[in-house]
Amino acid sequence: MTPRPDGHVRTLLGAFVLGHLEPDEAAAVRAHLDGCPACREEAAELGAVADLLPIVDPDRLGTPAEPPPALLDEVLVRIQDERETRHRARRRAILRRMSAVAAAVVLVLAVAVIALRSSSPGGDAVAMTTTVPGVRGEAVVHNDPDSTWVELRTSGLSVGQTYAVWLEEKGTHERSPLGTFTGVEGKLYISLYSPLLRDRAASIGVSDADGSTVMQGAIPDPAPS
């Protein structure tokens, strides 16, 4: 429905007939009434009611009825239900967007790693051992001149949980971080680099957010060149 163009003036008519408008507002309303028969008629009706107000005896109006005690509780329950409904809708929308983004990231990573694997020389395969049922992992370690390149394939990890990948240095058992990733449903392929050189790396491992090792595999010594 198209709003009436005189809607603003009509909201002021009550205050106008009671004389409660500021002088400039009252002048604007009077100017409008000069050219608007509909508003003049409405102002006249309101003015007739306003003329009766001085003779009204408030003591004879009685006490307004009290609302039922359960009414407030019902209103609050409805407000809470509506808030929860909106919250659930927002949460479902966010989860759908996150799932779509995660699927896109996994696809990009998989395509990137497949391209790298097809265009690069083979590395040393490392079988990852784990005590977590259903979790599997396999790594391919490449010997680059200034870094160690690792291709990691996992499956069975908890969806949505963050995991850290690291190389353990020979002799010191210190862990050199490779990067992090988020578990997804199905298989996941990622490609990572570490400044720790291949001949100094003893093993590769994956830890969960609590720092507990989920899987680990020993890296064989590089073949002599």
Per-residue pLDDT reduced to its tens digit, 185-200: 888 888 888 888 888 8
Place of tokens 């010594």: 221
Place of tokens 């003049």: 40
Any domain includes 198: yes
Q: What is the pTM of this model?
A: 0.46
Q: What is the mean pLDDT of the chain?
A: 78
Q: Round to the nearest angstrom and report the end-to-end CA distance of the chain.
A: 83
Last residue of a domain, one of 41, 57, 73: 57
Is 211 found in the same domain as 137? yes
| Token pair for 49 | 């009611």
Contact 157, 188 (CB under 8 A): yes
Any domain includes 200: yes
Looking at residue 2, what is its pLDDT? 42
| Token pair for 213 | 């090792």
By DSSP bridging, strand 175-182 and strand 187-194 are unpaired
Among the ranges given (75-79, 80-84, 106-110, 195-199), the one the predictor scored with the smallest mean pLDDT: 106-110
Any domain includes 120: yes
Is 207 found in the same domain as 127? yes
Contact 207, 214 (CB under 8 A): yes
Contact 176, 169 (CB under 8 A): yes
Question: In this predicted model, what pLDDT tens digit does every residue of 121-171 receive, in sequence order?
Answer: 568 889 899 988 999 999 999 877 777 888 899 999 999 899 999 999 988
Looking at residue 59, what is its pLDDT? 63
Domain of 193, CATH number, reads 2.60.40.200
Looking at residue 120, what is its pLDDT? 44
Among the ranges given (30-44, 74-88, 134-148), the one the predictor scored with the smallest mean pLDDT: 74-88
Domain of residue 182: give its range: 115-218
Residue 207 has pLDDT above 80, yes or no: yes
User: How much is the average pLDDT of 73-88?
Assistant: 77
Is 132 found in the same domain as 42? no
Into how many domains does the chain fold?
2
